[in-house]
Structure 1
Amino acid sequence: MDRTYDLTLPTDTRWLADADAQAVCDAVHAGGHAIYFVGGCVRNALLGLPDSDVDMSTDALPERVMALAKRAGLKVVPTGVEHGTVTVVSGGKGFEVTTFRRDVETDGRRAIVAFSSSIDDDARRRDFTMNALYADAQGRVIDPLEGLSDLRARRVRFIEDADARIREDYLRTLRYFRFHAWYADPANGFDPDALSAIASNTDGLETLSAERVGAEMRKLLCAPDPAPALAAMRQTGVLGTILPGSDDRWMAMLVHFEGHLGLQANWIWRLAALGGEDTANRLRLSKADTRMFENIRSAAFEGKSLSEIAYRHGLEIAQGAMLLRACLAESPPETSVLETINSAIQAKFPVRAKDLIHAYQGPALGARLAQLEAAWIASNFHATQETLLDMPDT
């Protein structure tokens, strides 16, 4: 297999210069074993992107890693010994160190693995070529499966047989689209072999837990522009399988409008643009995320003004409702709308219960407050306390 040692990670790669990470490498090297940084941290360093989790891979068995780490005075947590993973704590930071592995048996959700001494075996069981990149403690890059060419071209490609990689873990279908949204050059389009294999294996998506699907969708929707990936998901039948009733037709517009207004993307309002049946349960949203999703959806399609929505529900829900309404109208919002929303958020209702308690009690007091608040909102928050208190009770 091809090994590339003439390429070195950038000198400003922070985790490579981290003395705590190097201490883990030194501990394993002291026992005569190889150890490499692997996966996302290497990929992101080569792409000039922010640090990813720093994971390591070694030819040493888990028990040997633990013994060597302890000998070096490092703490060890046996987080997944049966799968080959131990967490070595160095300088208060945890580093996952995993023994080279090869898959023995898979069922689409989990794998039975055997330990290996071969970096080639370890590389082949990964998902995409750009994730099968390793770097030694000096930062020299090892490329067993020629993933560098794909990384340089910003091309997301399954390792070897796409159909086999997907059947090993059906979540890789969603990971493919997520990686495409984050790392691919849109000009390259999508790998035809990948799309063909994905379209042939959509049934396997139904075996995945809602938590795993939801986590992947969140990461995808946080990408700078998830619209092309979502369109490909629809075309291959993936989107309809994981989120029946959803529709991605607004996503490209919504992303454009975000950029037009200079808004920081919010994955919940993007999810609200997708819609779908029983979305909160299918993606196992938290209670807080569910409330925001439902509030944005209802606010976008009800008749209340954006000012009132902002006043009652806050900035993100008002902005989300604004964007969804703009998509419905197929017209970008005016930038002045943002000023209106920001002003409404800061507005303070000038009447308090103590101002009315001399004349109203119980339910009547609540009804009067609600009446005056509605009038104040209708005045675009301009009505003064005096004006409101002088209003007749209807």
Structure 2
Amino acid sequence: MDRTNELTLPASTSWLADADAQAVCDAIRQGGHNIYFVGGCVRNAILGLPDSDVDMSTDAIPEKVMDLAKDAGLKAVPTGIEHGTVTIVSGGKGFEVTTFRRDVETDGRRAVVAFSDSMREDALRRDFTMNALYADARGRVIDPLGGLPDLLARHVRFIDDPQARIREDYLRILRYFRFSAWYADPHAGFEPEALAAIASNITGLETLSAERIGAEVKKLLAAPDPAPAIAVMRQIGVLNTILPGSDDTWSTMVVHFETLLDAPPDWRLRLAAIGGADVAHRLRLAKVDAKHLELLKESAFGSQAIAEVAYRHGSDVAKAVVILRACMSEQPPSLAVLESIREGAEARFPIRAVDLMPQYSGAALGQRLAYLERFWIDSGFTAGRDALLRLPEP
């Protein structure tokens, strides 16, 4: 039996107070069907965390959802209608509404589903008990699988049999560690049954696309402190499966040094610290992220002064380089480096190309600019414009 009235969210909860979201609920309910907020938005609201995506679930089939939305004057887009998902546009915002489903067949990467009118069946196809929570339009939480106690205890637990949940979608191996990093009680440790199931299904990770693995790794590394989860991933063989040649030795230091320098969590810095072979390809990183990763590694192992790194690439990159260099030396960075970073990031080269024309042009102009900039950087950014223009040829 579905457990209700265990908890009611405050009316001030952002998505409960959202008139556009409520308009979607009203459209479905006026047609005689039930609709609920589900998953991450409910989980995060209970924990008092920032909003996750606002998803909804209903006992109405997709075609009925579209009809009811149109009857209410709302736009309905069949974004994933074969999987039960319709996007309803209300107040210019899109809300994904998905029909209750049950799995008919799974192959570890995708599932064949059938529509259902049972919330419990819908909940059973989810991954963790803390994600199988629903809330009606008034904020009353409905807990069909007993996930609320797990959530309040910060316990990441697979629904029913971990082996079965993992074999339905092997990405759940990575999701387990990502959710542990974000939501688990850091002092509770990891559930032995879950780790055993993961260890016996690691080869399933090789069937997943690089895009899916990369997306999960980025979310994991963006957690406040992913180091404990990464350490367990390494211990049971997950880390080396997705990133051969990686090493989590620096993970804890990176998080500590970020805090020391008041640097925000940076998944690219943490990925650079872990390393591995052909990382950009294995995680299918965007070109801008792959380029940033290479910049961090080249700068960390290079000899460029940190003030110059800050001047050329900004304070965030400079802090990341300081952290990587500190990991190499296994010594915390001096806070005095923050002043060097500030000076470099705020420095502005006082010479423009037009200042050297027409005396210099083409390649000679570029060479002269580079020479003067080098002199100016070596002066600690203190050499003035007039002094630079008077410099003789090298």
What range is the shorter-chain TM-score in?
over 0.9
1:10/1:45 contact within 8 Å kept: no
Q: Identify the residue that residue 145 of structure 2 maps to in structure 1.
A: 145
For the residue of structure 2 that corresponds to 1:123, the secondary structure is helix
SS of the aligned residue for 1:14 comes to coil
* Counterpart-to-counterpart distance in 2, 1:355 and 1:136: 67
**Larger deviation: 332-341 or 1-10?**
1-10
SS across alignment from 1:37: strand
What is residue 10 of structure 1 aligned with on the other side?
10
Provide the TM-score with structure 1 as the length reference: 0.95
**Alignment partner, residue 66 of structure 2:** 66
Counterpart of 2:213?
A: 213
TM-score by length of 2: 0.95
**Partners of 1:59 and 1:14 in 2: CA distance:** 24
Q: Is the 8 A contact 1:10 1:46 kept in 2?
A: no
The alignment partner of 2:94 has SS state of: strand
Q: 1:167 matched to which residue of 2?
A: 167
Q: Which residue of 2 aligns with 1:317?
A: 317
Shift of 1:187: 0.8
Matches within 5 A, 1:200-239: 200-239=200-239
Letter paired with 2:161: D
SS in 2 for 1:174: helix
Q: What's the counterpart of residue 103 of structure 1? A: 103
RMSD, aligned α-carbons: 1.6
The SS at the match of 2:187 is helix
How far, CA to CA, are the matches of 1:317 and 1:380 in structure 2? 19
Structure 2: which amino acid aligns with 1:44? N
1:27-176 alignment runs, 5 A limit? 27-176=27-176
* Structure 1 residue identity aligned to 2:333: P
Pairwise CA distance, 1:359: 5.1
Q: 1:369: which partner in 2?
A: 369
1:306 counterpart residue number: 306
Secondary structure in structure 2 of the residue aligned to 1:350: coil
**Secondary structure, counterpart of 2:15 in structure 1:** coil
Q: Which runs of 5+ in 1 are unaligned?
A: none
**Could you give the per-residue CA deviations for residues 137-192 of structure 1, whole angstroms, max 9, x where no partner exists?**
22111111110110010010110111111111111111111111111111111111
User: For the Cα contact (< 8 Å) 1:41–1:51, is it kept in 2?
Assistant: yes
**1:241-277, CA deviations, whole angstroms, 9 ceiling, x for partnerless residues?**
1111111111111111111121222221121111111
CA displacement at 1:285 relative to structure 2 = 1.4
Aligned residue in 2 for 1:254: 254
Taking a change above 3 Å as real, the CA distance of residues 354 and 90 of structure 1, as seen in their structure-2 partners, is closer
Give the direction of change, closer, same or farther, for the CA distance of 1:361–1:43 in structure 2 (3 Å limit).
closer
Q: Aligned with 2:326: secondary structure?
A: helix
Structure 1 Cα separation of the partners of residues 156 and 50 of structure 2: 19
Go from structure 1 to structure 2 and tell me whether the alpha carbon gap of 1:58 and 1:352 turns closer, same or farther (over 3 Å shift). Answer: closer
- In structure 2, the gaps of 5 or more residues are none
Q: Which moved more, 1:242-251 or 1:352-361?
A: 352-361
Which whole-Å CA distance do the structure 2 matches of 1:350 and 1:270 have between them? Answer: 35
In structure 1, distance between residues paired with 2:42 and 2:327: 39
Partner Cα separation in structure 2 for residue 131 and residue 291 of structure 1: 35
Question: How far did 1:360 drift?
Answer: 4.4
> After superposition, what is the alpha-carbon deviation per residue over 1:77-112, rounded to whole angstroms, capped at 9, x for unaligned?
111111111112222222111111110101111100
Percent identity over the alignment is: 68
Q: Kindly provide the amino acid, as one letter, of the partner of residue 174 in structure 2.
A: L
Which amino acid in 1 is paired with 2:314?
G
- CA distance in 1 between counterparts of 2:151 and 2:383 reads 60
Deviation track 1:292-329 (CA, whole Å, cap 9, x = no partner) reads: 11101100001111111112222222111111001111
Cα displacement (A) at 1:388: 3.5
1:91 and 1:390 map into 2 onto residues whose CA distance is 63
Structure 2 residue matching 1:105: 3-state secondary structure = strand
Please give the secondary structure, in 1, of the residue aligned with 2:223.
coil
Instruction: Work out whether residues 263 and 316 of structure 2, in 8 Å CA contact, stay in contact via their aligned partners in 1.
Output: no
In structure 2, do the counterparts of structure 1 residues 361 and 13 end up closer, same or farther at CA, with 3 Å as the change threshold?
closer
Write out per-residue CA displacement over residues 213-249 of structure 1, whole angstroms, 9 at most, x where no aligned residue: 1111111111111111111111121111111111111
